[in-house]
Structure 1
């Protein structure tokens, strides 16, 4: 494959395009200048000045005909089209447009392809379509792929309804796995739960909310000063301090 030939043809097209652009811009500027001059003459003309408006328009028309923008633009565009046509022929000559010449006999694992398609449907929440596909493809083993995504979409619907409990329960059940992956999902869900409580104005419930692991409220600070703070403040007071700090980090506002 002669890539240099393709590059040379492309360079010629690029050069023609730049030339066409420059010429077009010059013509537009010339036409605009003549129109502006004629407009100034008409605006500056006053009654009794002896300026014939019809003569000004006729003069403008004559100058525009002299410039010949249509003919000039047409010629420039024609040259560009010729270069583009030649470039297309060069590309067609270097590459084989017939896909049959690039075809190879490759054995595909139909089962894996079906599983990928079914997984895509379930991931997009198209459960009926996914069920129909695995039924027609006789891939009944793919039904096990559906359950995690059904659970995920159910949690999302509950979250839209401002119910975080299903998501919190799932995050708690998979806490160790989330930690191994470096995910802060569980912490963010609990933080969102605090914000919901505070939005309802129930500050006391936010301070006494049970069932939230202390390390989630401020994980880095808690890991660093855990033993010292527990010994000095006690577990209950420490929980309150961490919640207040969490609120400040989330909102940037002091807690009153």
Structure 2
């Protein structure tokens, strides 16, 4: 029998991002905000609903970046999203109330992507599973319960409680520690090419970027993570990637 290669990488667990990876956040956010603005009588302030939704996403991305950089608390980034979007000075109580009314509409549109349950079923016996999100445990714990997949994960870690956010290596290493595994034994699957893809790769995990929208061409995509267009590709990737330094799927 030939000697066992010491560089074999055996992936024992998959750590998952939630929003726009497992959960179709973008669709739910757009549908929820459209209904919320209609209920609030605010659509007339914009040329059309699409302009309002684009503006909301721009504000959300900017405030989320502040939270991820440690410049705002989870609650403050929510309040500031409302204030900036409305262009109005609101008290914390007023901003919280407005955001909660939006949440009511947003939650009615919650759904998993169609490829999520099949891949979780396919990997249930072969791999352990956990969640690492740049959100709050209070948000993601409830979301995963409502979506019916909470019990699939051994651990659910979120930046608001960890005190460190992706793409910092400490966030990924905290997830590995929760599973009592080394980074090279863990795969991370997320939708953001830098925060998830490059961050996980630089932290030493097998990084898998789920690029559902085909945002980048092969030539323009950032290096580091493997790229897949559907979670249905993940089982084969985990089975095929058995060596450190296996070639990237970017080509």
TM-score with structure 2 setting the length: 0.22
Structure with larger RCO (C-alpha < 8 A, sep 6+): 2
Which structure has the greater CA radius of gyration? Answer: 1
Bigger helix share: 1
Q: Which has the higher strand share?
A: 2
TM-score by length of 1: 0.22
